[in-house]
Amino acid sequence: MRREKYSIEDLLHLMARLRSPDGGCPWDRKQSFATIVPSTIEEAYEVAEAIEAEDYDHLHEELGDLLFQVIFYAQLGREAGHFDFSAIVDTLVRKLLRRHPHVFPSGELYGDNRGELYGDNRGGVTDEDGVKANWEAIKAAERGAKGESGTLDGVALGLPALTRAAKLQKRAANVGFDWHDISGVLDKIEEEIAELREAVESGDFESAREELGDLLFSCVNAARHLKVDPETALRQCNRKFETRFNAVETSLKKQGRRVADASLEELDQLWQRVKRAENQKA
């Protein structure tokens, strides 16, 4: 008889059955920590895509797929004797308690956390800037406890390049290594464009590759100063390009033609027509 709703315990049981040597799923049984990493990254992006598309009817399903990745790692950890799901939850709760002294001044999840009882234990931190500064200080202390003494230590190598660039820049900015305002960043972008142009015109494509990287890094800096997530901005740009290109292709198909059959001038005219139509709708 089917229950009304399954629980996290049911999901853990299901995962154990999938990995069971006795009647489990052959595909699930042969997986390892390393082999499911690509799926984890893909599921995280599918969650982001659903949120950006405001597809809330399917967001809970995408979140479930992402949660399943955590459950999978927990099962692998339990089998190898490293950790289990309860250890994941316990470590997470303890870390969040530690990083939110302005909410849990007693340091206990269910303790008496009324601010008036603890006075300065909250550190006077109630505004967003103070909370962020406190958060970074606590994280820095945590990194120090792990033996990560350098400012940039611990920024994961596996992050998407744009995201990692933003995190590296943020770490550097926290110790004062940053432009005073975005005008300096924009000047740097123009400088990098000139250097890229010079490398291309000289035919030095190895230098051009390096200069292109510098330009992208500077663009991430601009995004950070504008408080824009560069990955999100680029995904939105990708979606906009895809929508416009599809509209151009559809227009040509109605004429019985392909994109490859049209001249660049004609494609640009169609592209501009699509942009004008978008502006009219807006």
Better-predicted residue by pLDDT, 269 or 280: 269
Task: Lowest mean pLDDT of 66-70, 207-211, 228-232, name the range.
Answer: 228-232
Is it the case that residue 120 has pLDDT exceeding 80? no
Match 């479930």 to its residue by tokens.
64
Q: pTM for the whole thing?
A: 0.71
Helical spans, DSSP H, in the chain? 8-18, 26-29, 37-52, 56-80, 85-99, 128-145, 161-174, 182-202, 205-225, 230-253, 264-281
Is it the case that residue 121 has pLDDT exceeding 70? no
Q: Which residues contact 5 (CB under 8 A, 6 or more apart)?
A: none
Is it the case that residue 130 has pLDDT exceeding 70? yes
Rg, Å, the chain Cα set = 25
Rounded percentage of the chain residues whose pLDDT exceeds 90: 76
Looking at residue 194, what is its pLDDT?
Answer: 98
- The single-letter DSSP state of residue 152 is T
Is it the case that residue 185 has pLDDT exceeding 90? yes
Is it the case that residue 118 has pLDDT exceeding 50? no
Expressed in angstroms, the distance from the first to the final Cα of the chain is 51
Looking at residue 20, what is its pLDDT?
Answer: 97
**For residues 176-196, average pLDDT:** 97
Half-sphere exposure of 183 (CA within 13 A, CB side): 1
Question: Closest Cα to residue 75, out of 140, 126, 8?
Answer: 8
165, 214 in Cβ contact below 8 A?
no
